[in-house]
A and B are shown apart, each in its own frame.
Chain A
Amino acid sequence: MQSSSSSSHQNAASSSSAHLPQNGNTNGEEKDAKSSHVLLPFLQSQSQNTLTRLYQKPSACLAVFRLLSPLERQLVMNLLWLDSAISPATMAAWVVRDRRNVYDRAIQELMKLHILVNSTTKLVLNNTFKASFRHALTGGGTSGSFGVAADERQSRMSLGVEQLDHFALERWETILHYMVSSGTGQQPERPSKGVLFLLERSALMASMYGAMQITSTGFQFLLHSPHDQLWDLLLQYLHLAQERDMDLVDVLSFLFMLSTMELGRTYTASNLTATQKVMLKDLRDYGVIYHSDNNAGCFSPTRLATTLTSSAPPLPTGRSTGGGAQGEGFIVLETNYRLYAYTDNPLQTAVLNLFVTLKYRFANLVVGSLTRESVRRALTSGISADQIISYLVTHAHPQMRKNEPLLPVTVQDQIRLWELEKNRLQSADGYLYTSFASQADYEFVLEYAHSLDVVLWEDPVKRCFFGKAEGHGNIRGFIERRTGGAL
C-alpha cells in the first residue's frame, strides 16, 4: 500500500512585506496634469444642475474657462457671441481634417462640463454659462462675483503684499514640515485640527501608535509642485465638503472668486454666504487667505489663492523661498553621487533628507550624497525612482541646466537600478507540494495544476512544486480523488 501523495501543506512566504511599487504611476499622473487640470474630472462628475448653478457666477465661468485646454477655450469663444445654435457641420468645416479626433475630444469634454449643451444636432453654449461669461468679459451684471472690496478703514488694518506672502509661506510650510518630520522624533509646530483631519482623510498621513505618521502617498505628495499640492488638498476639501453637507456650489464659487481676486487688496466678508464664512477659517489654515479675528468683517487673498487658476508660482520666490519649487533651482548633482543643495530652508532640507544621506550643513549649503541606503529608504517609504529623478530635475540649479542631459546619466540609471533591485523578490501565498511517490504521479498532478494556471515554481528533480493558494482546494481534491481511485 503506497501512500502516494502525502502532500505537505506549508504556508510559504506570507505577503506581509509585499509592497510592489506602482511603476509608471507618477509619470502618467504628470502627463495628465499637463493635459487637463485635476479639478476638471471632479467638475465633470457633478450634476448638470450643480454646474449650471455654479455658472451663474461670472467669476466661476472665467476660472473654469482658464482650466480648459487652449482648443476648448477657442471653441467656447467662437460660440460665445452667437445668439442662435449652429449645426455641428458648420463648426466642423473649420477643423483641419487630420486633427478631427482632437476636435471631437474637445467637444466631448465641453459637453461633460455642461458648457456645451449635450446634443448631436446643434452646437450651442449652456445659456447660463453664456450669459455669465459675457458679463465676465464685458463687465456689468449685479452678481458681485469678483469680490466686493472692503472700505478704507478695514483695508488699512490688513496686511501688505509682502506680509501676505510671508503669512502664506509660513502656513504652507508648517503643513509640509509637519508631514515631513512626522516619525523622525522632531516636534515641529502642529497645524490646526482641520488641516490634520484633512491630511488624515486624504491618506497623506495616517494615525499610527497614537501619533500621526506620513504615508507613502504623503511622501509622493511632498515631491509635487506647490501648485499641484494645493489643488490636491483643495480637491480633498471639496470631497469633504460634500460629506459635511456644505453647498458645493458655494464652496466652488468661493474658490473661483478667490482665484480672480487681486493680491494685496482687502475684501469684505459681509456678503458671503454662511458656508463661505465657515470656509474663511479653513482656508486661513492653509494660508490661502488672510483673515484676522479682530477684523472679522474682511479678508485678503494670498498669492496661493490668486494663482489658483494660473500657472504663475503660487509661493513667493526670493531668498526665503520655501516650497519655492518653481523659483530658482538649488540642487547640484555630480556624477559621483554628491549632491549640493544651496538652501537654508528647513523644509527643503527635510525633503532632501528623504532620499539623500546628508553629510554637512552650512549656512546656505547642504552637502550630501545619494547612496544605496538612502535611496532604498525612500523607495521603502513608497517614493518611486521616477519621482526622485523628477524632483531633482525640477529643482536643478541654473548651472545644471547647461548640462545635456540635465542629470548625470550614471546617477539616473543607478537610482532606477536600485529600484529594480527592490523588485527582485515577489511574494505570494501558496502551498508547496512534495513527497510524490513516483515521477508519474508528480507529472500527473503537475499537469493538472498547470491546466488551472496556478503553478508558481516547479522542480522535477526533487518532485515538488509550489502552487497558488487559490488553486489548493482543486489540487487537493484532485489528489484525493486519484488516491481514492488507486485504492
Chain B
Amino acid sequence: MHLVVILDLSKHWLDAQSSLPFSRFLVHLQAFLNAYKAASTDSQLAVFAAAPGRNLLLYSDHEKGSLNETDPNAYPSFTLVGSTIAEKLAALYSDLEVLDEPCSLVGTLINALCYINKAITTGQCTPETDEPRILVFSVSPDLSTSYIPIMNSIFSAQKLRVTIDVCQLLGPETVFLQQAAHLTGGSYLQLEATEALLQYLTMTFLSPPSIRATLAVPIQDRVDFRAACFCHKNIVDIGYVCSVCLSIFCQPIPVCSTCRTKFPAKLVLQLKASQLPGITPQTSQASSTRAASAPSRADAPGTADFDVSMHSDPNSLPRYTRNGKA
C-alpha cells in the first residue's frame, strides 16, 4: 500500500471561530497515520505540507531517520512518524515570516504525484497491488486560478491510477477537489462534526480501494462540475467554449487567448447582444445555478452560448479562421 497525505497549512487554521484547533487535528491525524502503518510493514507513507509560500515533505519512508531512544510502550515506527512530523512542523513555523502568502495546494498535489511516479518508476510501488492514494486535508476555499493545474493533475492521477481522497476540514465545499475525488474514484468528505474526526477518517479514508469494493465508503451523491473560466478565473455556470481548443470563457471574445483562433466579429457581437444578464463575469457562483439558467437559455434560440458540457450541435458552432487564413 502506498499513501501520500497532503496537509493544507494555510492561515485559515487561525480563524478564531474554528471548531477544530490545529493541535487537536494533529493528534487525530497521528492516530490515523498509525492505524495506516499498523496494517502492514509494507504500508508506505509520505506526508507533504502546503505551507504559505512553499511546500515541503514532512515525512517519507524513503528518507526516514532513526530514533535515538525507544519507548518500551510504543511501537518504534509510530514514534518515528510522529516525531519527524512534529520536528519538521516546528522548524517550518520558526522559519515562516509571512503568513499572508497563499498556500499552493495544487503545487503540493503535483509534488505528491511526482513522488508516486518516482516510486512507480523505481519499482518501489506497483499500481496494481499497492493501490497508491493521495489524501488531501484541505482547509482553504477554492483558488480559482488553480483550476487548470488541478485539472491537469487529475488527468495525471487517472493515468497513474492514483486515487485522490479529499477531506475538507474547514470552510465551504471546494468544487475542484470534489471533482478530483470524483474523477479518480476517491471519496470526498465535507467535515461537519469535528468531535469524532478520527472515526470519520477511519471509516472513510483508511481502507484501500480494494476493500472499498466490499465495505463501502461515503461517496458524493451530487458533484459540482462547474469549471473556472480561463480569462477571469471565475467559476462559471454557463460559459463560452472555444470550438478549437475547448478553452472556457465567461464572455464572448474575438480571439481565443489559448489557441489564437479568431472568431468572426459578427458572431461575437451577436453573442454579446444575446448575453444573458445572469452570466456576466461578476456573477458569483452562488447566485445562479444551472437549473435556474436553463429556461433563460431557451429564451434565446439560435444563439451560440456554449455550455461547458454542451457543444454538440454543429450548426451553432462559430465559424472560425485560423492564423488569418480566411
Residue of B nearest to A91 (CB): B215
* Contact status B73-A138, CB under 8 Å: no
B161-198, CB < 8 A from A: 196, 198
Instruction: Please give, as numbers and ranges, the residues of chain B lying within 8 Å of A194 by CB-CB distance.
Output: none
The one of B41, B73, B206, B208 in contact with A140, judged by C-beta atoms closer than 8 angstroms, is: B73
* Contact status B76-A146, CB under 8 Å: yes
Instruction: Please give, as numbers and ranges, the residues of chain B lying within 8 Å of A136 by CB-CB distance.
Output: 38, 75
A231–B42 Cα gap in the complex (Å)? 19
Supposing A74-B211, A310-B41, A311-B40 touch, asked if A139 and B216 sit within 8 A by C-beta, the answer is: no
Instruction: Please give, as numbers and ranges, the residues of chain A lying within 8 Å of B211 by CB-CB distance.
Output: 70-71, 74
Residue of B nearest to A136 (CB): B75
* Contact status A102-B41, CB under 8 Å: no
A311–B35 Cα gap in the complex (Å)? 18
* Contact status B202-A70, CB under 8 Å: no
The one of A65, A82, A148 in contact with B199, judged by C-beta atoms closer than 8 angstroms, is: A82
Instruction: Please give, as numbers and ranges, the residues of chain B lying within 8 Å of A71 by CB-CB distance.
Output: 211, 214-215
The contact string, 1 if C-beta is below 8 Å from chain A, for chain B 30-47, is 110011001111100000
* Contact status B74-A80, CB under 8 Å: no
Minimum distance in angstroms from B64 CB to a CB of chain A: 12
* Contact status A58-B210, CB under 8 Å: no
Classify chain B's interface size.
Answer: 20 to 34
* Contact status A74-B207, CB under 8 Å: yes
* Contact status B76-A262, CB under 8 Å: yes
B230 CB-CB contact with A under 8 Å: no
A99–B215 Cα gap in the complex (Å)? 8
Minimum distance in angstroms from A76 CB to a CB of chain B: 10
A95 CB-CB contact with B under 8 Å: yes
A7 CB-CB contact with B under 8 Å: no
Main secondary structure of the interface of B (DSSP, over half): loop
* Contact status B73-A103, CB under 8 Å: no
The one of B30, B75, B198, B213 in contact with A146, judged by C-beta atoms closer than 8 angstroms, is: B75
The contact string, 1 if C-beta is below 8 Å from chain B, for chain A 115-142, is 0000000000000000000011111111
A59–B38 Cα gap in the complex (Å)? 11
Classify chain A's interface size.
Answer: 35 or more
Minimum distance in angstroms from A167 CB to a CB of chain B: 21
A96 CB-CB contact with B under 8 Å: yes
Minimum distance in angstroms from A445 CB to a CB of chain B: 62
The one of A77, A95, A261, A309 in contact with B214, judged by C-beta atoms closer than 8 angstroms, is: A95
Instruction: Please give, as numbers and ranges, the residues of chain A lying within 8 Å of B34 by CB-CB distance.
Output: 137-138
A302 CB-CB contact with B under 8 Å: no
A124–B210 Cα gap in the complex (Å)? 24
Instruction: Please give, as numbers and ranges, the residues of chain A lying within 8 Å of B41 by CB-CB distance.
Output: 66, 307, 309-312
* Contact status B70-A96, CB under 8 Å: no
A81 CB-CB contact with B under 8 Å: yes
Residue of A nearest to B33 (CB): A137
Given A147-B70, A262-B70, 10 other A-B residues pairs in contact with their CB atoms under 8 A: A70-B208, A70-B210, A137-B34, A138-B31, A143-B73, A146-B73, A148-B72, A261-B76, A311-B40, A312-B42
The 5 closest A-B pairs by CB, nearest first: A310-B41, A144-B72, A139-B74, A99-B214, A148-B72
B: which residues have CB within 8 A of A? Answer: 30-31, 34-35, 38-42, 69-76, 78-79, 196, 198-199, 202-203, 206-208, 210-211, 213-216
